[in-house]
């Protein structure tokens, strides 16, 4: 596994910023359909939001992306706020795709974050911990659960959004300085517009302010429809199988 990149936590020159950008790594999401939407796949240095209702394949997508990343010799960290991280599911996807699960599982690190404080500490520890090898991806599953639990209700909406913004700023900074792809999986809420229900991502514009790309997944019968809300009018169709999203 490659040696960890030199990490820069202080001010950097514009020349250094260009050097960081030129060294970015693009890796497949494990789905050719999704890769087309993401302009080739996920890219280090970027924060991408993936949102949708339950059972639309968000976690599956993150897991199969992990396989692509590890195959390039890198490591990945999952920040699990739901208590739903299933290494056995990742192993089964590996086997189905002809990949040695022991190789992948040994390069994936999981942190159980039951509070916003623990979520924040996890990012800080990633920046300090050299034992992870060359960690090129951080997955937060899910982004907003702890924030909505700790700051519930309309009265605390301002505090909730402010706290979420601080956390997203940390993630975005980590992605840029430490050359990592950050994938935040997010829940949805239903809103009524012109008499019609539609799904929106929790956190809304606060999340969009920091995300370079946004991916929306929704069920349509046996299919999963994927779209980029930041690029209106483009939607593709895929399926969830034992191998993940096609």
Taking 70 as the threshold, does the pLDDT of residue 167 lie above it? yes
C-alpha atoms less than 13 angstroms from C-alpha of 188 in its C-beta half-sphere? 19
CA nearest neighbour of 167 among 53, 47, 10? 47
How much is the pLDDT for 110?
Answer: 94
Question: To the nearest whole number, what is the mean pLDDT of the chain?
Answer: 90
User: How confident is the model over 206-217, as a mean pLDDT?
Assistant: 96
CA nearest neighbour of 84 among 174, 171, 185, 168? 185
State pLDDT tens for residues 212-236: 999 999 999 999 999 999 777 689 9
Torsion of Cα atoms, 115 then 112 then 199 then 152, to 10°: -10
Count Cβ atoms within 10 A of the Cβ of residue 235 and give its class: 0-12 exposed, 13-18 middle, 19 or more buried.
middle
Please report, in angstroms and rounded to a whole number, the separation of the first and last CA atoms in the chain. 28
User: How confident is the model over 61-74, as a mean pLDDT?
Assistant: 96
User: Which comes out higher in pLDDT, residue 124 or 160?
Assistant: 160
User: Which comes out higher in pLDDT, residue 127 or 5?
Assistant: 127
pLDDT band at 28 (very low <50, low <70, confident <90, very high): very high
Count Cβ atoms within 10 A of the Cβ of residue 153 and give its class: 0-12 exposed, 13-18 middle, 19 or more buried.
exposed
Taking 60 as the threshold, does the pLDDT of residue 36 lie above it? yes
pTM of the complete model: 0.91
Taking 60 as the threshold, does the pLDDT of residue 206 lie above it? yes
Indicate the SS3 state at residue 141: strand
Q: What are phi and psi of 204, to 5 degrees?
A: 45, -125
- CA dist 4 to 1, 71, 130, 136, 180, Å? 9, 17, 7, 10, 11
Q: What domains can be seen in the chain, in order of their start residue?
A: 14-217 (3.40.50.300)
Q: What are phi and psi of 105, to 5 degrees?
A: -60, -30
Q: Give the C-alpha separation, 59 to 179, whole Å.
A: 22
How much is the pLDDT for 238?
Answer: 96
pLDDT band at 126 (very low <50, low <70, confident <90, very high): confident
- CA dist 93 to 100, 105, 188, Å? 10, 11, 26
How much is the pLDDT for 236?
Answer: 94
pLDDT band at 9 (very low <50, low <70, confident <90, very high): low
Taking 90 as the threshold, does the pLDDT of residue 31 lie above it? yes
CA nearest neighbour of 199 among 19, 52, 14? 52
> Helices 157-177 & 116-128, crossing angle to 10 degrees?
10
Query: Which residues, including other chains, have CB under 8 Å from residue 18's CB and lie 6 or more apart?
Result: none
How much is the pLDDT for 131?
Answer: 66
State pLDDT tens for residues 185-205: 999 998 877 777 889 999 999
């Amino acid at each position: 596994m490659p040696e960890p990149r030199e990490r820069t936590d202080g001010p950097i020159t514009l020349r250094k910023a260009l050097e960081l950008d030129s060294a970015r790594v693009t890796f497949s999401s494990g789905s050719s359909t999704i890769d087309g939407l993401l302009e080739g796949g996920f890219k280090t240095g970027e924060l991408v939001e993936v949102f949708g209702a339950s059972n639309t394949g968000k976690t599956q997508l993150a897991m199969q992306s992990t396989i692509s990343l590890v195959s390039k010799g890198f490591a990945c960290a999952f920040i699990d706020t739901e208590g739903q991280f299933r290494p056995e599911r990742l192993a089964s996807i590996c086997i189905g795709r002809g990949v040695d699960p022991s190789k992948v599982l040994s390069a994936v690190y999981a942190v159980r974050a039951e509070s916003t404080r623990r979520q924040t500490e996890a990012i800080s520890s990633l920046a300090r911990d050299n034992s992870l090898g060359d960690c090129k991806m951080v997955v937060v599953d899910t982004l907003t659960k702890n924030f909505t639990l700790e700051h519930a209700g309309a009265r605390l909406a301002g505090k909730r959004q402010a706290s979420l913004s601080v956390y997203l700023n940390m993630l975005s900074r980590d992605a840029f300085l430490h050359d990592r792809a950050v994938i935040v999986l997010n829940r949805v809420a239903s809103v009524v517009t012109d008499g019609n229900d539609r799904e929106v991502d929790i956190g809304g514009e606060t999340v969009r302010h920091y995300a370079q790309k946004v991916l929306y997944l929704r069920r349509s019968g046996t299919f999963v429809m994927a779209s980029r809300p930041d690029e209106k009018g483009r939607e593709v169709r895929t399926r969830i199988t034992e191998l993940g999203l096609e």
